[in-house]
Amino acid sequence: MRSRSKICSYPKPKDGSTAIISASVSSRDDETARKSPPNLANGKDEEQGGSKENESTRCDVWHSGALGSVLVSIPPESRLDLDAASYLPISGSPLRDSGRSSTGDLHSHSNLPTCLDSYPIRGMMIKKRYISPTHWMFSLTLSPHALDWLDEQMKKQGKIWQEMMTCKLLARSIKTKRLLSWTPGRYGTYLPTKGVADALFGAYLRTFETIYRIIHIPTTKRVYNTLWESPGLASPAQVVLLQLCFAVGACFYDDVFSLRPHAHQWIREAENWLESPGKLRMTVFDIQIMCLLHLARQTAHYLRENHVWAVSGALVRAAMCVGLHRDPTRLPTMPVFETEMRRRLWTTIIELVLESSIDAAGPPMFSSDDYDCSLPLNLNDAELGDLGEDGKPTSHDMAELTDTSLQIALGRTFAMRLSVAKYSNGIKVDSSYRETLRLGSDLMAEYRSLMKYLHALNPQPTTFQKRYFELIFSRYIFSLHLHYLPRALKDPAQFHFSRTICIDTALRLTSSFLPLSSSRHNPVLIAMHSILPFESCCCDYERLLICGSAPFRSVPWQAVMVIAVELAATLHEAHSTSPWTGVVSFNQKQNGSKFRNIELLTWLREGAKWTKQRIQAGHHNVKDIVYITVLLAGIEAAMDGTPPEPAMDAKGREILAEAKSILGVTAGTETTTWDTVPDLGDEGLGEVNEFWSMGFSGMEWESFF
């Protein structure tokens, strides 16, 4: 029973269940509410899709054992009565309807509050860490039947939950096995053979270095050759820099990331070198190493997004200490080579900082007023190196592809993307839906202009470069529109554009790396390919999304979740409008959305295979594959007209057994089992806010090396 007081609270459920446990309801005559910070739009602005906050907004904190604490803001003039509906079965949701049979819908008795379908989520607290609603974890709330299933497993702590804990123990064993012995201060102990090093260095140069200009390629190649011809002449700093290039290139070496332990070791050595006492790390060369370390952490390591974001703050401040934020023309005269390298490096730094803020769903913490450094000239590295002290470079025509063309093209869109990041992740902005549409329109205009420019370049950019640009812009589209998706499903007339652009972006993104090569003989995929051929395979791009971490996992994950929620929504809509409802299963109905659902279902199944391939590539976290598998099982059961819960339980057990087998082989043992139910209270594994924080998204469970 809920309290009738205006401010009420309840203790957190200790069994991992889902419930609304606290509410702060304010009114116009409540002095306390008037003094508290505003939270959401008034009723009039809410009708326009806005979120201008005032003192009359009601807020509820919903706690999920699997997800964490979610702050939901309710406009004061809404007709939703949480006091009466909080603990009742959900009705009117696009994914669940208590008035229908459970065989035709997904979770007809969900524990999730109805407000999640209609009102903005203002933030989440995951194990004492705050994230905004633009974070990738928001996408988990789009699939309530899968989230309910996880909460139920946490509450019961039965066989499925024990198997998850077994996978956790195997993951710890794998971590220990991968940690190489090393004496701090000794660099280059685990250098690869010359042949492997050539492959790794070449992979880095043809991928990330073409977009984020960090090194001068001819100069670095000379250092690289010296490392093999005269090892004693290479300084520790040069060894560290080259090893970071190897660490990034290791993501592209093979499909299973066999060099992962070495990549972790090279990152570890770089961190030790930067933190070694008695050394002043404030030179341009040091900043280059910091940039490479940032990329290596995103591709080959297991750092949380908010940790990378926090470290990026140190990167931009160190760069400012060196004066990279000032254009070289406003500094004492320096050679052209140094001038251009400083411009390239600063452009890279602001890109890395901006993108880390998008990954962590945090404000960029700087603006265009904080620097005046210009974009670099359109020059090749060889031309830059041949300039003398007084040489004056001649920039190439912008239609000609050079070593800096892609960096310049991306840099020209920086102001627009910075505006989107500040708008999406700010807490004191006019976040009306009208403003969202305006920014979204400007962003798409920049995007179209960029892609048109890339296709006009001569010679043409590589497939990897084009798809990487698509990946970058997909993040900004999702940050603007994804949190409107539940409201778009509830009110399609008003928020239809957000739903359309999210699913279009998701399909474009998934089709760039799916289907997997193992699915090429699927009859449905063969038919789809015959009608509209798939994009050409790009091995580097596919391996990045299979072996990489951070955004290279979270953005494709968001796309797969959007496809899942679109499939569930169209299933519900077809179920509601079909005259065959209750007579035959969905798969036997003749309706206009059937072929679209087959397409979505095919991509969702491929997404499940992608998560499995990531485990085979060494990502020892099973939550991705468990979540998407039970989500898919629930949808398939609903399409067949059968209850979703038994199918989700069966698929959950099946995929956990398969994942445990893969991890067991990697760890060198398959005997890790529970003889008795573990005492989860000792490690807090069963507590509220724990599940998703335990290494989801490719992050390590708790510790890093």
Burial 146-170 (b: 16+ CB within 10 A, else e): bbbbbbbbbbebeebbbbbbbbbbb
pLDDT at 110 over 80: no
**Mean pLDDT for the stretch of residues 360-374:** 90
pLDDT digits 0-9 by tens, 486-521: 888 888 888 899 999 999 999 999 988 888 776 767
The span from the CA of 289 to the CA of 297, in Å, is 12
Specify the long-range contacts of residues 3-11, CB closer than 8 Å, at least 24 apart.
Answer: 4/83, 6/30, 6/32, 6/33, 7/32
**Mean pLDDT for the stretch of residues 656-683:** 68
- 3-12, 117-126, 228-237, 380-389: the lowest-pLDDT one: 3-12
**Mean pLDDT for the stretch of residues 305-319:** 88
What is the predicted pLDDT for the residue at 589?
52
The span from the CA of 180 to the CA of 264, in Å, is 9
Place of tokens 């452009």: 347
User: 653: pLDDT confidence band, cut at 50, 70 and 90?
Assistant: very high
pLDDT at 703 over 70: no
Q: Say how many CA atoms lie within 13 Å of 102 toward its Cβ.
A: 13
**Mean pLDDT for the stretch of residues 543-557:** 93
What is the predicted pLDDT for the residue at 483?
87
**Mean pLDDT for the stretch of residues 309-315:** 89
- Are residues 90 and 43 in contact, defined by beta-carbon separation less than 8 angstroms? no
- Are residues 562 and 506 in contact, defined by beta-carbon separation less than 8 angstroms? yes
What is the predicted pLDDT for the residue at 385?
67
User: 112: pLDDT confidence band, cut at 50, 70 and 90?
Assistant: low
Residue 350 CA: distances (Å) to CA of 127, 133, 319, 367, 413: 29, 23, 10, 10, 12
Residue 524 CA: distances (Å) to CA of 170, 510, 532, 630: 36, 16, 12, 22
pLDDT at 621 over 50: yes
The span from the CA of 519 to the CA of 105, in Å, is 29
What is the predicted pLDDT for the residue at 108?
43
Amino acid of residue 94: P
Of 644, 646, 609, which is closest to residue 624 (Cα–Cα)? Answer: 609
To the nearest 10°, the Cα dihedral for 406, 407, 413, 415? 180
Helices (H), 157-250: 159-178, 194-206, 217-229, 236-249
- Are residues 480 and 439 in contact, defined by beta-carbon separation less than 8 angstroms? yes
Cis peptide, bond prior to residue 515, ω within 30 of zero: yes
**Mean pLDDT for the stretch of residues 357-380:** 92
Per DSSP, 132 falls in state: -
**Mean pLDDT for the stretch of residues 341-363:** 94
| Percentage of the residues of the chain whose pLDDT score is greater than 70 | 74
The span from the CA of 106 to the CA of 93, in Å, is 10
pLDDT digits 0-9 by tens, 426-443: 877 777 889 999 999 999
pLDDT digits 0-9 by tens, 579-616: 545 555 555 554 556 778 888 999 999 999 999 999 99
pLDDT at 410 over 70: yes
pLDDT at 84 over 80: no
Higher-pLDDT residue of 685, 238: 238
Higher-pLDDT residue of 679, 218: 218
Across the chain, mean pLDDT equals 79
pLDDT at 109 over 70: no
Token duo for residue 82: 């949480």
**Mean pLDDT for the stretch of residues 146-171:** 87
- Per-residue HEC secondary structure of 68-89 comes to EEEEEEECCCCCCCHHHHCCCC
The span from the CA of 625 to the CA of 614, in Å, is 9
* Separation of CA 127 from chain center: 18
- Per-residue HEC secondary structure of 430-449 comes to CCCHHHHHHHHHHHHHHHHH
Of 196, 195, 270, 212, which is closest to residue 236 (Cα–Cα)? Answer: 270
The span from the CA of 288 to the CA of 265, in Å, is 19
**Mean pLDDT for the stretch of residues 440-468:** 96
Residue 178 CA: distances (Å) to CA of 503, 628, 664, 669: 39, 27, 14, 15
* Separation of CA 144 from chain center: 20
User: 685: pLDDT confidence band, cut at 50, 70 and 90?
Assistant: very low
What is the predicted pLDDT for the residue at 677?
45
Domain boundaries, the chain: 7-143, 187-411
Higher-pLDDT residue of 521, 622: 622
What is the predicted pLDDT for the residue at 423?
92
- Are residues 559 and 510 in contact, defined by beta-carbon separation less than 8 angstroms? yes
What is the predicted pLDDT for the residue at 642?
86
What is the predicted pLDDT for the residue at 613?
93
The span from the CA of 355 to the CA of 312, in Å, is 10
**Mean pLDDT for the stretch of residues 530-555:** 88
Rg (CA), the chain: 26
**Mean pLDDT for the stretch of residues 372-379:** 96
Q: What is the pTM of this model?
A: 0.85
pLDDT at 30 over 80: no
Of 569, 458, 560, which is closest to residue 512 (Cα–Cα)? Answer: 560
Place of tokens 């959401």: 40
609 contact partners, CB below 8 Å, separation of at least 6: 516, 518, 519
* 3 state SS of 398: coil
pLDDT at 89 over 80: no
The span from the CA of 477 to the CA of 445, in Å, is 12
What is the predicted pLDDT for the residue at 511?
87
Place of tokens 């335990």: 694
Regarding beta strands 58-64 and 19-24, do their DSSP bridges make them parallel or antiparallel, or are they unpaired? antiparallel
pLDDT digits 0-9 by tens, 219-278: 999 999 999 999 889 999 999 999 999 999 999 999 999 999 999 999 999 999 998 876
